[in-house]
Structure 1
Amino acid sequence: MKIRLCEHNQGAEKLAKRLNEQFAGLNIKIKKCAKQCKTCKQEPFAVVDKQVVKAADSNVLLDQVRELIERQ
């Protein structure tokens, strides 16, 4: 599973760290730009296997990404 985060997005590093702690071996990268600029300015997001996952805050985003990982 590929997870891509934008370095300009709020909480990207914190989210990557928490995901790495909970799920070792995931392919998580913080990119210079995830090409989701409009979303990036408004709310936390992650690109999970080419699907954009958005949330109101980083804790909710973590829960949503965790749910996608557990479904796989």
Structure 2
Amino acid sequence: MAEIKFCEQNFSEGAEEVIEKLKEDGISFEVESCLSQCGECSMGPFALVDDDLVQGEDADDLYEKIKELI
């Protein structure tokens, strides 16, 4: 299974919605206080999947991209 990480600072950009969907699907992930991706963090929801940056236009887009990778 892929390692998925979210940044707490990105919750307001939509990451929290993605986290809730992943929880419903039973998919594990980590939440860290900061992932040092400040530029991407301010542009929209993102996650690190196996340490690769995955950026979404919105929460639904990010969720679909993550699902494709795992």
Please give the range of the TM-score, normalised by the shorter of the 2 chains.
Answer: 0.7 to 0.9
Give the whole-Å Cα distance in 1 for the aligned partners of 2:15 and 2:3. Answer: 15
Identity across aligned pairs (percent)?
Answer: 36
The number of residue pairs the alignment matches comes to: 67
Cα pair 1:12 1:30 within 8 Å, conserved: no
> How well do the aligned residues superpose, as a CA RMSD in angstroms?
1.2
The runs of at least 4 consecutive aligned structure 1 residues that moved more than 3 Å come to none
Unmatched runs of 5 consecutive residues or more in structure 2 = none
Unmatched runs of 5 consecutive residues or more in structure 1 = none
What is the Cα deviation at residue 62 of structure 1? 0.3
The question of 1:61 aligning with 2:62 is answered yes
Of structures 1 and 2, the one with the larger relative CO (CA 8 A, separation 6+) is 2
Q: What TM-score does the superposition give when structure 1 sets the normalisation length? A: 0.83
Query: What residue in structure 2 maps to residue 30 of structure 1?
Result: 31
Cα pair 2:14 2:44 within 8 Å, conserved: no
Read off the aligned partner of 1:32 and give its amino acid letter: S
What is the Cα deviation at residue 25 of structure 1? 4.8
Cα pair 1:8 1:32 within 8 Å, conserved: yes
The question of 1:19 aligning with 2:32 is answered no
Deviations 1:13-70 (A, max 9, x none): 2211211211x252x011100110110011110100000001111100000001111x
Q: What TM-score does the superposition give when structure 2 sets the normalisation length? A: 0.86
Cα pair 2:46 2:53 within 8 Å, conserved: yes
